[in-house]
Structure 1
Amino acid sequence: MFDSTCKFLAESFSSDFASWLLGEPISLTELSPTELSLEPIRADSLILLQSDDIVLQIEFQTEPDPNMAFRLADYRLRVYRRFPQKDMKQVVVYLTPSNSEYVYQTAFDIPGTRHEFEAIRLWEQPTQPFLESIGLLPLAVLTNTSDQAQTLRQVAGYIDAVPDARVQSNVAASAGILAGLTLEKDFINQVLRKEIMQQSVIYQEWKEELLQEGWEAGCQEGRQEGRQEGRQEGRQEGRQEGEQSLILRQLARRIGEVPPAARLSIQALSLDQLEALGEALLDFTEPADLVNWLQKNQAV
C-alpha cells in the first residue's frame, strides 16, 4: 500500500522528485524494469525514472531491508548494461523511524567490489521543502516536525488551494495513506476530507487492495466493511467498480501500465461506456489506442 502510493507520487510528479533528489526539476519519464536485461527484483517496490542523461532509482521503505544494498548494486549493473552512457542516482527513502544499522547503510561492500548509494531518513529531513512542492506534500507529515497533526493541517491547506480537482484528490488520498503511518484514521479523514480522497485513483486502488486482502485472509472486519459499503453504495456501483478493475487489468496486459490521467478518465465512464471499452480494447496494441478511444468518447 505505502510502496504503491509512493510509486504513484514519484511517477505523477517526477519533476518535484527530481528537484528534491537531483537538485533540478529535469523532465523524467518512467523506465520499465522489463527494459533491463534480467527479471526485476521486487518490481512492485521499484521506481525507475529516466531522462536523456540520467536514471533515477528510488526505493521507499517502511522497514529496514538487509538485502537493500545488494539490490541496488545489482540494479546499477543492469542499468549500466542497458544504458552505459547514462549516469545513475540511487536513493533509499526510509519512511518511519528506526535504529537499525540498515537505515544508515550507504554502500554494498564485498572484497574487490564497492558500490555506493544514498539513504534518506525522512524523519531527519526539514519539513518546509516538502510543503513547497505539490508532489512532496504527502511526505511532509513524516519529516522532522514537532507536531505531525499541525503539519497535516498545513498540508490540507495547500491541497485545498490546488486548482485541478483530479490532482487535488490524488494528492489528498496519498497524504491520507502516508499519514496513516503515524496518525489516527479519524483525524486524517477529518483534516483531509474523506469525500475528496475517495475521488482519487490511488484511493480506489487502496480500497480494492484492502478489501481483497481482508477476504483472502478471512478477516471478519474486512468482510463486514465490504458488506456495509456494498449496502451503502448499491449493487450498481459495485458492478461498475468491478468492470473498471477488470478493464484496467486487461489494458495492462495489452498495452502496459495505464497512465494516471487515463485511469481517472476510465473511472469517470458509465457502465455502458465501460462495456464498450471492454470490447474495443481487444484491438489495442499501444497506449495511443486507448487515448484515441477516450478522446472519441469524450472521456478526456
Structure 2
Amino acid sequence: MSFDNIAKYLAEKYPADFAKWLLMSEPQKVTVLKTELSIEPIRADSVIFLQTESRIIHIEFQTLTKSNPPVPLRMLDYYVRLKRQYRKPITQVVIFLQETDDVMAFTEEYADEATVHRYRVVRLWEQDSALFLDNPALLPLAPLTKTDSPSSLLSQVAQKIAKIPDRVERQNIGGCTEILAGLRFKKDLIRQFLQEEIMQESVIYQDIVQSTEFKFLYRLLNRRFGEIEPLLVQQIRDLSTQQLEALGEAFLDFDSVVDLETWLKGQADS
C-alpha cells in the first residue's frame, strides 16, 4: 500500500487547494501536468506537477527518506527538465509524511563542487493542524500534523469528515484519511473514530485494497505453481475484492494450476 500515492491522488483531485497551501497565495488557474518528462523519460508515483498561469509547482511526497537516486539529486534533475520544457519559475516542495529524525528530512539542497540547488521541505508533523482541518482537500493529511493529543486530533478529523455534505466525496476523503492515518495510529484506534462502512465504500479505498490483495495472491500463486500464464493473471486481476478474498481461501486447497483454472471458470459462470 503506497501512502505516497494517496497524497498524490489528493493533489491531483484538489490541485488548487494544494497550490494555495504551498504557495501561500490564491492562484487564478491550476492544472495538473503529466508526470513524464522528456529526455529519457522518468516517472515517479509520488510526484505531481501543477501549473498556474505563471509558475510550475513540483510536489514530491515521501514516506521513506531513502531513495535511488537520493531526493536532493532527484529534485535537481526534475528542476532542469521542468525549466527546459516550460521556461517558467518553478517551486519545488518535498513533503515528508511520516515523522523521522533522518537528516534527509531536514535537507533542503543539493550541493557538489560546482552546483548548489535549493528546494523546500515540508515536514507534516511540524505543521499546524488547523489549516488542514478546515479544508476537505487537506483533511486526510491532518492526522499527521502537529498535535499534543494525537487521539483528540483524530477525533476532530472524524467529525470534519462526517460533515462533508457530498456522499462520494465524504467516502473518498474518509478512505484516504484511514490509509494515511495508518502512518501514525494503530488500526484499532482509527476504527474507533472513523466509520468503517464509509471507508469501505470509498472508490480509492477499494482500489488500493484490491490492488494489495491481487499482488499478495499473485506472489503466492507464482511461488507455488511457477509463472502463471498472462490470461490467468488478467482473470485474477479482474476479480472483485470479495472474489480475491475468496480465492485466497480456496487457494489453500489447490493442488495444481488446473484447480485455479477451474475456480476462475466457476466465478465467470456464476
Q: Which of 178, 181, 184 is equivalent to 1:182? A: 184
Task: Output the amino acid matched with 1:131.
Answer: L
Aligned to 2:102: 100
Aligned to 1:17: 18
Q: Which of 68, 81, 84 is equivalent to 1:81? A: 84
Number of aligned positions between the proteins: 230
Q: Which of 69, 74, 80 is equivalent to 1:71? A: 74
Aligned to 1:203: 205
The 4+ residue runs of structure 1 with deviation greater than 3 A are 39-42, 222-225, 228-231
Q: 2:137 aligned with 1:135, yes or no?
A: yes
Aligned to 1:145: 147
* Secondary structure in 1 matching 2:5: helix
Provide the rounded CA distance (Å) in 2 between the counterparts of 1:50 and 1:8: 16
Aligned to 2:35: 33
Provide the rounded CA distance (Å) in 1 between the counterparts of 2:190 and 2:161: 14
Provide the rounded CA distance (Å) in 2 between the counterparts of 1:150 and 1:129: 16
Summarize the Cα distance change of 1:83–1:171 in structure 2 as closer, same or farther, 3 Å threshold. Answer: same
Aligned to 1:298: none
Identical-pair percentage: 37
* Secondary structure in 1 matching 2:45: helix
Alignment root-mean-square deviation, CA: 2.7
Shift of residue 6, structure 1, vs aligned partner: 0.4
Provide the rounded CA distance (Å) in 2 between the counterparts of 1:142 and 1:167: 20
Shift of residue 23, structure 1, vs aligned partner: 0.7
Q: 2:130 aligned with 1:111, yes or no?
A: no
* Secondary structure in 2 matching 1:57: strand
Q: 2:241 aligned with 1:227, yes or no?
A: no
* Secondary structure in 2 matching 1:176: helix
Provide the rounded CA distance (Å) in 2 between the counterparts of 1:175 and 1:223: 22
Summarize the Cα distance change of 1:39–1:161 in structure 2 as closer, same or farther, 3 Å threshold. Answer: farther
Provide the rounded CA distance (Å) in 2 between the counterparts of 1:175 and 1:149: 14
Deviations 1:205-241 (A, max 9, x none): 111121022213439xx9998128999xxxxxxx9xx
- Larger fraction in helix: 1
* Secondary structure in 1 matching 2:220: coil
* Secondary structure in 1 matching 2:81: helix
Contact kept in structure 2, 1:41 and 1:71, CA below 8 Å: no
Task: Output the amino acid matched with 2:71.
Answer: M
Summarize the Cα distance change of 1:230–1:53 in structure 2 as closer, same or farther, 3 Å threshold. Answer: farther
Summarize the Cα distance change of 1:161–1:108 in structure 2 as closer, same or farther, 3 Å threshold. Answer: same
Shift of residue 134, structure 1, vs aligned partner: 0.9
Q: TM-score, structure 1 length as denominator?
A: 0.71
Task: Output the amino acid matched with 1:83.
Answer: Y
* Secondary structure in 2 matching 1:43: coil
For 1:251-270, what aligned pairs fall within 5 Å after superposition? none
Summarize the Cα distance change of 1:39–1:153 in structure 2 as closer, same or farther, 3 Å threshold. Answer: farther
Shift of residue 42, structure 1, vs aligned partner: 4.1
Residues 175-184 or 16-25, more deviating: 16-25
Q: State the structure with more CA Rg.
A: 2
Contact kept in structure 2, 1:123 and 1:143, CA below 8 Å: yes
Deviations 1:238-274 (A, max 9, x none): x9xx99xxxxxxxxxxxxxxxxxxxxxxxxxxxxxxx
What residue ranges of structure 1 are gaps of 5+ in the alignment?
232-238, 244-300
Task: Output the amino acid matched with 1:52.
Answer: E
* Secondary structure in 1 matching 2:209: helix
Task: Output the amino acid matched with 1:226.
Answer: E
Q: TM-score, structure 2 length as denominator?
A: 0.78
* Secondary structure in 1 matching 2:78: helix
Provide the rounded CA distance (Å) in 1 between the counterparts of 2:212 and 2:73: 31
